[in-house]
Structure 1
């Protein structure tokens, strides 16, 4: 794996049930498990799915027209069964509007194709989930 391919975040515990993720560029996002206003890890997963496909679709449609509304809702059911805790029935719903006129018409026309292309080929997050990529977990010598 080359440095161009490697993605990395570091997660640090900041308190009981509170964590901060830091990316290689120094960006941070706080999250937690205590039910306060921080995102939970599952909500971050849903946000990652939506954010990835939103970025793809925004690039494709934004070449033609600036949207007047661009919202995604990402849902899923958290279950616990013989396979452990997991999410099922993940769904992304786009609600996008463009201004009247030829540029908006072009953006509206390519929207379904942009959503499909993101889902089928481009969105690394949902493609990884659907491929069922294994996750390796280790404990480093402390």
Structure 2
């Protein structure tokens, strides 16, 4: 692995059930355990899936025309079984409209392929989930 391949976030507890994630560039996002309006970790996972593929599709279609509307909905069901908690039936749905005219026609024509290529090859988040990448967990001395 190269230094260029490393991605890193740091999570700090800010209060009971509330946390802030900070990326290497200094960006932050707050989240919590569902007792407020903050996103939960599962909702952040769904947002990451949708956001990753939305960015890929936006780049591909945006070369032709600015969309009139661009909404991605990501859903799934939380399940508990003998293996523990997990998400099942993950689904990503695109609702994108483009203006009339040749540029809009080109964007509409490539939209299905852009979505497929993102899912099959480009989106690091959903590709990682589908591959079932193991997660190593450790406890360090404080």
Partner of 1:99: 99
Q: Which runs of 5+ in 2 are unaligned?
A: none
Partner of 1:43: 43
| Structure 1 counterpart SS, 2:4 | coil
Partner of 2:90: 90
**Superposition CA RMSD, Å:** 0.5
For residues 59-98 of structure 1, the aligned pairs below 5 Å read 59-98=59-98
Query: Which string of whole-angstrom CA distances, capped at 9 and with x for unpartnered residues, describes residues 40-59 of structure 1?
Result: 00000000000000000000
Q: Give yes or no for contact 1:18–1:34 (8 Å, CA) kept in 2.
A: no
Partner of 1:123: 123
Q: Distance in 1 between matches of 2:65 and 2:14?
A: 42
Structure 1 residue ranges (4+ consecutive) displaced by more than 3 angstroms after TM superposition: none
Q: Distance in 1 between matches of 2:35 and 2:122?
A: 33
Partner of 1:17: 17
Q: Distance in 1 between matches of 2:3 and 2:123?
A: 20
Partner of 2:8: 8
Q: Distance in 2 between matches of 1:10 and 1:137?
A: 14
Q: Distance in 1 between matches of 2:4 and 2:34?
A: 36
Q: Distance in 2 between matches of 1:115 and 1:83?
A: 32
| Structure 1 counterpart SS, 2:47 | helix
TM-score (norm 1): 0.99
* 1:141 CA drift (Å): 1.1
2:27 counterpart of 1:27: yes
Q: What is the count of residue pairs matched by the alignment?
A: 142
